Every structure is written in C-alpha cells, then in structure tokens.
A and B are shown apart, each in its own frame.
Chain A
Amino acid sequence: MTVALFISVFLIAACGLIYELIAGTLASYLLGDSVFEFSTIIGCYLFAMGAGSFLSKYLVRGLVARFVSIELMVAVVGGFSSSALFLAFAYTQGFRLILYLVVLAVGILVGLEIPLLMRILKDRFQFRDLVARVLTFDYLGALGASILFPVLLVPKLGLVRSAMLFGLMNAGVALWSTWLFQEQIGRIRSLRASCIVVVLALCTGMAYAERISSAADNSLYADDVIFSRNTRYQRIVLTKWKDDLRLFLNSHLQFSSRDEYRYHEALVHPGLASLPGARHVLVLGGGDGLAVREILKYPAVESITLVDLDPEMTRLFSTHPVLSGLNGHSLTQPRVHVINADAFPWLDSNEEMFDFVVVDFPDPTSYALGKLYTTAFYRLLGRHLRRGGLAVVQSTSPLFARQSYWCIADTLKEAGLKTWPYHVYVPSFGEWGFMLAGFEDFKLPQALPSGLRFLSMQNVGEMFVFPNDMLPVAAEPNRLNNQVLVHYYERDWKDIVH
C-alpha cells in the first residue's frame, strides 16, 4: 500500500516534468530561440505550479475524488498537449498564446497534485515522514523523466506519442487511486468510467499520431497546401497562393508556375533549336512534363522518351486537371513515351540513341543523386548521343553554388564531352545554370519556335556570357569513387542558407 502510494508520486512527478520538457522542446524548435523559450516555459510552468499549490487550499471536501479528477484533467491536457501545439502551429496564428495557456493549465493542475496527495495521506503517516518521502519520490520522478526524455522518448516515440504515453500514466494513476482509496470516495463508478474514457481517448490518439503529422505539414509551407503525398520515393507537395502553384519534392522547390517558363525555355531551346534535324529526344527526370511541353513545340521531333523514377509523379502530371493544364497535357501526347525507372540503370541497359537529351535531375544533395552527375554517368550519356547530338544538363546555380556548377562542367569534360555553359535568371530560384554538352560543335540557333515568353533571338546568346562573379573556379571532376560534387554543393549552399 505504502509502496503503491509513493510509486504514484513518482509517476505523477515524472509526468509533470515530461509535459514541461515537451512544451520547451516544441517551442524552441518551432519558434527558434531555445534559450528564451526554455527559460520562459520553465518560469511559467513553475509559477503555475505555485498557483496550483495555492489554489489547493480552496479544495476542502471529497479530496480523493478531486485528486482523481485532477489526474484525469492532467492526462487529457498534458497527453494531448504536443498534438494540440503542433496543430496550433499549423492552423492558427496564436501558437505562442496557446503554448503558454497549455503550460499554465498543466502547471496549475500539476501544482495541485502533490499538496492534495499530502493532505489525503496526512492521517496515515507522521508529517515528518510524509514530507520527506513525498518530496523524495517527487524529485526522483523528475530525475527519471529528465533522463528518459532525451534518451528514449524523443528518439523512439516522438513528441506526440510521448505526451500521450505520459497522459496514459496519469490516467492510470487516477484509475489506480480509485482502488487505493476505495473507502474514501463516493461515486466510484462514474469516476472509473471517466478514467476509462480518457484511457481510450489517449490510446486512439497514439494510434493516429501519424495523421496528426500530415495535418501539421500544411504549416511548413508558406502557402496553402493543395496536394501532398508520400510516394515510395519522395514527398510531393503542391502549394498555391493566388495563381502561383509551387511544386516541392522532399521540400526542395522544383518550380513556381509564375516563372517556370523561364527555366524550361532556357533548358530546352538553346540546344534543341540548334539541332533542326533532331528526331529523337530523351528527358531524364522532369516528371512534371514541363520540359516535354517545350520539346513538343518542334514538329520535326518524332519521339520523346521521358524517364522518371516516380510513377506517382508522372501520373499526377498526366491526370491532375490543374497540373496537366500547366504542362499542356504534354505527358499524354502520342509522341511522348513515359517510362518509370531509375535513370542510371535504365540508360545502362538501353541501346537507343538520341539526338537531344535533357538531363533534369534534382540537385546533388545526397550521394544517391550525386551518382547522376559523375564521369561514369556522362560517359554513358555520351554513348547514347547520335552523331552531332547534344545533351543539356541542369547544373544548379553558378552564383550560389559556383564551385558545384563548374565541377559539373569539368566532369563532363573529363568524360570526353565539350561543354557550353549558360545561365538564366529565374525569380523563384535566383540565377540558374545549365550546361550544353556534345562531341561536335555547338552553334547558336538560327530560329526559335514561335510563342516563347522569355527567350528571343536577342537574348539567347546573352545567356552564354558570364559576369565576373560567376566565372569558372577550379574543381575536381566528380567521380563515383570521390563524389566531390556532393561536398562542393553542401559547402556552397552552407554559405548562403545557414
């Protein structure tokens, strides 16, 4: 009996501290300044506990029933605190207000617990012993919680489930107390029923923790999320603000519908318009169909093969009314063949030759993507170019990632290709770079398709001129056995975004 009582003290102390830690962690992460957030939350919480202790003197009768109800309230408010806060951050403007309200509420309730419990127990123990033991277990619980939190809870369970788990413990203590103090309570049945309701609610919450995650996602993008899906390969998110559609893959911006024409016209036309005889075109990456839309402006092109890893991506851009409108229904045109495959092995096992190849992969942010920018890949690419053919490579920003950009040029040269670097300004991206590559010579196009919004015979040549701050810098070629580009890229961008 005595042991059971002090285990309760230990548990409620641990729960109390966990809610405080969760609020602090969440706030310091979502709002940034961790010193400020932790200090104010601890202060606020301790103050609320003081207030709770003070208020405890107004509770006079039915102490055990009150204690059980308070436990249940802590279970609900504390248990759902982190999910409520995540959702508040996602859906409301008043995250900070709600944060401090939650902290105050949990603090007051937790502040009530110990004084009430001591009063319940005061007739069973000598006062001297009671204070000593209750406080001992109180502090031990705090120690346990503070060690458990960073070591086990955050990494294994996550914040949402951790809070719910400890909510369950509070509810458990409540339920247990209805037995421990059986003779001291009246309406025992209704109390037990409420306990069970709370336990069930928290269990349901734990089961649905993942849904809360996706609901909270909305908040992480500046604009409204109109579509988001985790495919086998990536997370696709589409946002819309007024008439601006933006596509994010794994939270990297792929295009903004306001200025993507600049990017895609610059990607396709300087090369393709210079090859009036081009019949067969290959697009690697580019599952959004926007590069294909530009290629379809050449009636002489007989076939366009698009190879993109993710079938969800190409399906979305073939069938979604808004998105397929954006690419002019390019992916469903008879000249276009969509293949869902991993580009490097696909090219490795394929013997087709192409007049023009568009290489439009995501930036080399990982070793897996870095493979697609290596001498080995470009040698293979070269073996699929017809005589006089050209390839164009999306090559990241020559301004923000200058060494990465010129590393791609050196890698293409190392693979035996000639290169013609050029760049364009895309407002949503900034200054962006491409690289034409081939075995023979490249001459600027004599004509461009009609109806282009950005490119003209006047400005196409200007793109090949580099201002001083984007001129070549030394770089080592990127090989499968060194992957220097991934390191260059990481270093280049680290200097810009912190």
Chain B
Amino acid sequence: MNRRAFLSAGLVGLTLKAERKIEGGFVNEAFILGHHIRDGASFPQPQRQVRTPVVIIGGGIGGLSAAWWLQRNGFRDFALLEMERQPGGNARWGENDITAYPWAAHYVPVPDAGVELVRELFRELGVLDENGRWNERYLCFEPQERLFLHGRWQEDIEPHIGLTAKDREQFRAFEARMAEFRASGDFTIPIARGSKPSDLDRISVSDWLDHNRFDSPYLRWYLDYACRDDYGALARNTSAWAGVHYFASRAPDDKGPLTWPEGNGWIARRLIAKLASYIQTGQAVFRVTRAGSKYRVLTIAADGSAGVEYLADFVIFAAPTFLAHYVIEGAPPATGFVYSPWFTANLRLDRLPRELEGAEPAWDNVDYDSLSLGYVNATHMSVASYREQTVWTWYYSLAEFTPEQARRYLLAHDWAFFERRILDDLERVHPDIRACVSRIDIMRMGHAMVRPSVGFQFGDDRARWLKPLGRVYFANSDLSGISIFEEAQYRGVEAAKAVLQGMGAVHR
C-alpha cells in the first residue's frame, strides 16, 4: 500500500448504506407443469398429429447432442421437444444490456485426447483449431479463482493461508494419491470409456479421508467444497469413487477451463442455432405410449393449450431419467437416482463493490466460511481493461439439507427471503454489496443434477437404464452418475448412434 492508497482509505471511509430498491424475481419456473405431469393430471388431447421417425424428448445438452449427431450423420427427419421456452437445460443462459450470463453450468474442462466427441464439437465451433490449438479467448483468463480465508482474499481455491506444515503435507500426500489414481487409467471421461468397478464406490469421500488419516481441516474443507460444487452433495454423501474421479480423470495439456460469459450457454446457443429447424420449445411431453409398432408421444403446450401427437419409430428420452416413470407407459420408477436441488441467482451490479484486502477479483470467487459456492463474474472473459458494471452468478447447492428438505425450503420461501439470504452471504466479503446490486433474478432447480451417492456408480439401479425400453433410448447425463457436460454429450450421442443403427436395421 502506498501513501496515497492509505490516505484515501483512511480519509474517505464508508459511504452510507443506500436504501435502494433491488428488483428481480424467480425465473424459468416450469416445476408447476412438471408436478402436474407427475401427479397424472388430465390434459387437453392434442388436436394435431405429426409422423416422424425419431422424437427426442428434452433439450438439454443430452438431447441437443443427440440431435447434433443425427444431423451430422445426414439424418434430418426428427423432432426435439423441450418443455421450457428456452432449450439448454443446465446450460441455459440469460442476457441483459451488460453481458450474457449463465444460469447453471459455466465451464468445460479442457478435454484431453480421450474425450474425442467434445473435441469434435469444439473443432466445429472454432474453439479448437486445425493445429490443435485452443482459442485463447475461451481459455479462462487469469486470475481464475480466489478464496476469502481468514479475512482476506488469496489466489486459488485450494487454501494457502494459515496452513500448518502438517496441513501442507496432507495436501501434498493427497495430490500424490490422486496422481496415482490418474496414472492407473481407471478413471475415464466418458466414464463408460474405461472406468473399472471399484470398492471406492462403496464408501463416501469422508470415509475415504478417514481411512487414509487425512484430517487437515483445510483439506477436508477443500474436498467438501469440491463435492458441493461438482455434485451438490457434502463429502459424506458422495461416493469416494466420484470424489476421486473428479481429481483423477483429467490430464489436459492446456490451462483451462474453457469458459464464456454465458457459461455453457455459449455452446448451447450454437447447437440450438444449428438445430433450430428441429426444435419445438414450450412443448411438454406428458405421455409416451406404444401404438402398434410405433410410439405415440403426447405434448401439452407450456400455456396449457392442446399440444401435438407425434407418431415415432424411435424415442430418445434425454430428460432426467426419473421422469420416465411418470411419462412413459410401463417405465419403472428410477430407484436409486438421487437428485441434488440447487438455486442460482444472477445479480446485476451497477457498480463494482470495493475490494477487501488481498487477491484481485477473479472469475470464480469463493468464501471459505460460507455454505454457498460463491460467485462467478460474467464479464471476466471480456478483453476490456475497464468495466463499471457486471453480472455475478451466485451458486448454492443446499447440500447441507437432504434433497427433500431442500426442495421444501425452495418452495417455502418468497423471493425477498432469498434476496436477503444472498446479500447477507455476499456482504461478508463485499460490505457495500447492497449499494451495488440493482437486480437479482433467481432460478430454483428442484432436481438440478444427479448425485453420485455411495454405491450408485457400480450398482444395479443405474445399469438397468443403460438398455433401451423397447425402442425408447435413454440419454440423460444422470445415466453416467455424474452431471457434467462431457457425459451429457456422450449419452446423447450414444443414444443417437443406437437409433441410427436401429433404423438401419428397420429399413433393411
């Protein structure tokens, strides 16, 4: 700190808290219609019939990837049905006059050579060039992450401040163990490419840490944070296999991740543009039944009016698998599938808050003492040197509740309650945040991502759904037991491949 900085800090001090009205509300609320479908409500019968060989249900990354693959392989006779007005699923995004911003998934780790499908897509989108170089505008700019720990910001999320020699030794030992797991080649992406069953799936991350005498509170925090962030679950509710997979499955040669202002919405909007002629939005599928050799797929429009009856030879079910039981005739309940609820908020900042001591603002900003996951700055990937306004996406996985409790919590409170909850959380690290924010939009997701619970990865519950139900193929990332872009894409493409193969057989 130089004299000037000290003087201005000392002299100017705090500006009074302005009592400004913050606007906002809940957005993308489709759960009411969803719950009607679950409860078997009666809907107006479709007035119109469409015959098409293939229907894809669900416009998240799984469904979009299935469509992408069909189109790439010259197959053009299909429809993709999305219940929401905006496709994208967990890769949905928003936009205002400042910037585009993500609603959920906001990055893809740099895919190594094993993740060929993602590289394929990225070559098509200009993210990876013909010389194998990543577009430097999309590799996350420095500084990537910071952590508010012991009253100041440090670079990186892995804690550095206040660690004892023993803590540091445990971090080293942990990293060495992860390097061994990585070298074993048993933790792959996509998981189906070569991950081998393992006893690690029988215990939780916490158990594994206990067995290996990892007791450093900082290391335990770090693992707990990683589980909350990646799986929406506490370490004690996460399979150790999934915990290790996160650290041991990737060996990229470039420093990533790949990210964009609107997060994975950048990918989604490009896929949607390519596939626009196949996509029907605001069409919720409420029933799939057999009709002779075909499937009858019934929809209802998002506004409650009559939808369309599709007659298809093949169905790709890319919506979350637990919905199959409520929609598809004869589908069993998806026992064993646990979904973590989340809520995210996008905050419009009309000015940037004053910074407390330590590292500069980063892309991902985390508070060690908060149960939230911190916030991501949507303008971080701008090349501008100077910005006055921005949008932050604040993430909270409600992992300290059971999923059922968390869903009740989400439904029990109004927007003003969550507004307070979010601002109180941010105020700890940005004391003047209330004077900066002018709008908070909140998205509640009751079933945001599948949870890799103990035993789920290599148990029978998951395996049952990998086979088609007649000619209904399942394609949600939850079939992989973890919810990541690579798995969603893989599942979508696998389903599309199976359908293309099946169609070949039918046509022959």
Contacts and interface: CB of A to CB of B under 8 A. Distances in A.
B7 A367 contact: no
Contact of B385 (A162, A209, A309): A309
B129 to A, nearest CB: 12
Given A343-B385, A368-B385, A376-B137, A483 B11 contact: no
Interface string B1-27: 011101111111110000000000000
Contacts of B360: 366-367
B13 A482 contact: no
A156 B4 contact: no
A210 B256 CA distance: 43
Given A251-B2, A376-B137, A367 B142 contact: yes
Contacts of A232: 388
B139 interface: yes
A209 B360 CA distance: 28
B4 A344 contact: no
A267 to B, nearest CB: 20
B109 to A, nearest CB: 13
Contacts of A370: 142
B330 interface: no
Interface stretch (A99-107, A133-141, A213-221, A394-402): A213-221
B9 A372 contact: no
A233 interface: yes
Contact of B13 (A29, A158, A372, A376): A158
A348 interface: yes
Interface string A365-390: 01111111011110000000000000
Given A216-B7, A251-B4, A371-B383, A209 B137 contact: no
B271 interface: no
Contacts of B385: 309, 342-344, 368-369, 371-372
B142 A482 contact: yes
Contacts of A467: none
Interface residues of A, number: 46
Given A345-B383, A348-B383, A366-B360, A371 B141 contact: yes
Residue from B7, B8, B139 with most neighbouring chain A CB atoms (10 Å): B7
B137 A158 contact: no
B47 to A, nearest CB: 48
A36 B118 CA distance: 64
B143 interface: yes
B383 A158 contact: no
B136 A375 contact: yes
Contacts of B505: none
A213 B12 contact: yes
Contacts of A212: 11
B255 interface: yes
A473 B8 CA distance: 39
A481 B141 contact: yes
Interface string A145-157: 0000000001111
Contacts of B137: 376, 480
The prevalent SS among residues of B at the interface is loop
A213 B4 CA distance: 10
B14 A210 contact: no
Given A345-B383, A375-B136, A158 B11 contact: yes
B346 to A, nearest CB: 22
Given A158-B10, A342-B386, A482 B3 contact: no
Nearest to B137: A376
Contacts of A235: 4
A141 to B, nearest CB: 23
B143 A216 contact: no
Nearest to A348: B383
A430 B382 CA distance: 34
A348 B385 CA distance: 13
A74 interface: no
A159 interface: yes
B500 interface: no
Contacts of A481: 136, 139-142, 144, 254-256
B388 A220 contact: no
A329 interface: no
A481 B383 CA distance: 12
B412 interface: no
B11 A216 contact: yes
Interface string B370-393: 000000000000111110100000
Contacts of A309: 385-386
Contact of A483 (B7, B8, B12, B142): B142
B11 A342 contact: no
A488 interface: no
Given A156-B431, A157-B13, 13 more contacts: A157-B14, A158-B10, A160-B11, A209-B13, A213-B7, A220-B3, A372-B385, A376-B137, A481-B136, A481-B140, A481-B254, A481-B255, A483-B141
Interface of A: 29-30, 86, 154-162, 209-210, 212-213, 216-217, 220, 232-233, 235, 251, 309, 342-345, 348, 366-372, 374-377, 479-483, 486
